[in-house]
Amino acid sequence: MDNLESTVISTRIRLARNLADYPFPHRLRTREQAREIVSLLHLPLSEIDSFRCIYVDETEREELEMLKENYLISQALIDKCGVSAVYINQDENISIMVNEEDHVREQYYIKGFQILKGYEYLSGIDDVIGDCVRFAYDEKWGYLTACPTNLGTGLRASVMLFLPAITRRPDLFSSLRERLRRKGMVVRGVYGEGSDADGYMYQISNEITLGFSEQTILQEVGEAVYTVVETEVRARREMYERDSAAVRDACGRAYGILTNCALLPAKEFLQLMSEFKIGVSLGLYNVDKMSDLDDLIVGMRDSNISRFSKETLDGRARDQYRAECVQARLKELLRGEPDA
């Protein structure tokens, strides 16, 4: 398993846009005006893929949480429930949030480190939308956005990383974060600004877009990711060399509980899976793809369990269902016996 695969979870490309003929979302006067903006996107998106339109104020809270847990919408979109909506494609890797902070937030989510592919694909979608609506654009300042940090290209390139070894060394984490800040990068939690880094997962992205071309932003984010990956892999090796018995013990205990427990609460599941992933990244356990474990983590979140089980489960029943699914799936994924 190479260093990128053991460390990079996913790539998300986002473009922020506003329509020239409407007030920005925080100044929209009526619900009807907000709905007009939503309807304007129907035609261009129908030319690209089969999208379903979801109005936030007409959607159950549980489904909204599921969409957020799958990185398709933001908490800010949920908070704007009176005016907001989202278009989601069939594969659920493209979402177009409408009337969040900006009129249009185009997002493309892709597994692994595929920053150039992600941008090229989303840029094509942006072109189709731009042919049907008039974006707010200034020759000097670029795309006009509600927040100054998005002014310019409106491009946010974000990469989700698994960083257990760096997290366990606060001095290393602090110095790395400062190095990234000086290069115009920001480190956030799983769901963006203000969220926690659950399961040692962090997003690294560009902080500003003004004064930089799209190509420069993508290149600099890519270079930052390679720097972080190299730092993390080196820190993992050092952690293992310092106390291999402790690392093997933690990973083995995690695997033992995951494959034998009868009840598995969400918080404990994430903690144990993170420990098990460390063992996989160090070659103590063999699976074909780390992304299979990442998919399992997402699939076993509370809202997704209700979706997959096709029934509303209470806390205890949900924990039991999670334990049964995780046991079966891990035994499918593990190849051979753990290394001695």
Angstrom distances, CA of residue 76 to CA of 83, 99, 100, 145, 202: 12, 10, 6, 15, 19
On average, the pLDDT of the chain sits at 92
Q: For 246-269, what is each residue's pLDDT tens digit?
A: 999 999 999 999 999 999 999 999
Asked if pLDDT for residue 289 goes beyond 90, the answer is yes
Residue 194 has a pLDDT of 53
Asked if pLDDT for residue 109 goes beyond 60, the answer is yes
Cα–Cα distance between 20 and 34 in angstroms, integer? Answer: 14
Asked if residue 279 lies in contact with residue 285, where contact means CB atoms within 8 angstroms, the answer is yes
Cα–Cα distance between 155 and 133 in angstroms, integer? Answer: 19
Phi-psi region of 208 (alpha: psi -120 to 50; beta: other; left: phi over 0): beta
Asked if residue 334 lies in contact with residue 286, where contact means CB atoms within 8 angstroms, the answer is yes
Asked if pLDDT for residue 108 goes beyond 80, the answer is yes
The gap from C-alpha 76 to its chain's centroid, in whole angstroms, comes to: 15
182-190 — which CB contacts under 8 Å span 24+ positions?
183/220, 183/224, 184/208, 184/220, 185/220, 185/221, 185/224, 190/160
Residue 336 has a pLDDT of 67
Say whether 202 sits in a helix, a strand or coil. Answer: strand
> Is the pTM of the predicted complex or chain greater than 0.75?
yes
Characterize 235-260 residue by residue with b for buried, 16 or more Cβ atoms within 10 angstroms of its Cβ, and e for exposed: bbeebbeeeeeebbebbbebbebbbe
The more confident residue out of 191 and 210 is 210
Question: To the nearest whole percent, how much of the chain has pLDDT over 70?
Answer: 96
Asked if residue 42 lies in contact with residue 50, where contact means CB atoms within 8 angstroms, the answer is no
Closest CA to 330 of 260, 281, 268: 260
Asked if pLDDT for residue 180 goes beyond 90, the answer is yes
Sheet of 201-206, strands arranged across: 51-55, 85-89, 94-98, 104-111, 8-17, 155-162, 201-206, 185-188
Q: DSSP letter at 339?
A: P
Q: For 134-145, what is each residue's pLDDT tens digit?
A: 999 999 999 999
Residue 181 has a pLDDT of 94
Asked if pLDDT for residue 195 goes beyond 60, the answer is no
**Amino acid identity at 261:** C
Angstrom distances, CA of residue 158 to CA of 1, 21, 43, 298: 23, 30, 28, 18
Asked if pLDDT for residue 312 goes beyond 90, the answer is no
Residue 192 has a pLDDT of 60
Burial bucket for residue 296 (CB in 10 Å: 0-12, 13-18, 19+): middle
Q: DSSP letter at 210?
A: T
